[in-house]
Amino acid sequence: MQSIQVGTAPQRVLATGAALADVDTDDLLWSRQLDTERPIGSIAKVMTALVVLESGDLNQQIRIPKAVIAYVTKYQGESGGLRPGDVLTVSELLEALLLASACDAAYVLATTYGPGIPAFLAKMNAMALRLGMTHTQFTSPDGLPYPSEYSTYSTPADLLTLGLAAMKLPAFRSIVDQRFYNLPKSRGLHHAYWWGNTNYLIGSYQGATGIKTGYTDAAKHCLLFEAVRHGTTLLGVVLGSPDTGPAAGAQAAAKLLDWGFGLKQLPASG
């Protein structure tokens, strides 16, 4: 990806680190602290999904273990409300992981596909290196801040690489552009579940197609995102947006996208 010179810069993008690229031309349109390592929160779940999608049968059934309750409680992570004893497919767990940012789903997938979290983390970091993400490290499958707030980190440049890789996969794309996912009760298998998308761009920003939110106290609001208008695909990331509310990352991303589509002389409102 090559950086190009443009006449203007986006204004009032509230983010410590950020980048925006044109997927079709492979041009980096704008960046801020492109190679600075920062915590990324639940954007880490994108890599978790990539490892699972590379490794397994999406129809494989997995029984939810009791340990998920203690895991989410210990780290105060977002929960998809998974109930121990329920049996869900890998595909259904990915819906919870990517839409509701479910740390219990991340735990179940990591322990299954490692097998065990340490082995799964090794696979996450190996894939990062394979993709050329040399300024990225994963110490949890979900971005939760252990062993420290800064031990899982990446850069805007590396996250553009991750987003490009993820959105090439039809199974991944089909999940992240949904506003919600409803899983009816199945007798003998699982309770009913409803998972809403934590990405505020979906359903509110014209052409938004994904990708994933992130938040911790150290990371602040983060968003890896993509939008498509009139055949132009823009991919971007904002890291460290100030804590002004759950839509803070989406607001910063929308300003960046408006600017980017404006460069292409496309409609920017929506």
Active site residues: 42, 45, 101
C-alpha to C-alpha distances, 84 to 13, 90, 110, 189, nearest whole angstrom: 42, 15, 16, 11
Cα 58 from Cα 1, distance rounded (Å): 32
Q: Count Cβ atoms below 10 Å from residue 228 Cβ, excluding itself.
A: 17
Kind plus residue range of the DSSP H or E element containing 31: strand 27-32
Contacts (Cβ under 8 Å, ≥6 apart) of 115: none
* Dist CA 214 CA 163 (whole Å): 14
What token pair was written down for 245? 């509310």
Determine phi and psi for 215, rounding to 5 degrees. -160, 135
User: Cβ neighbours of residue 145 under 8 Å, at least 6 residues apart?
Assistant: 39, 75, 151, 152, 216, 217, 218
262: left (phi over 0), alpha (psi -120 to 50) or beta: alpha
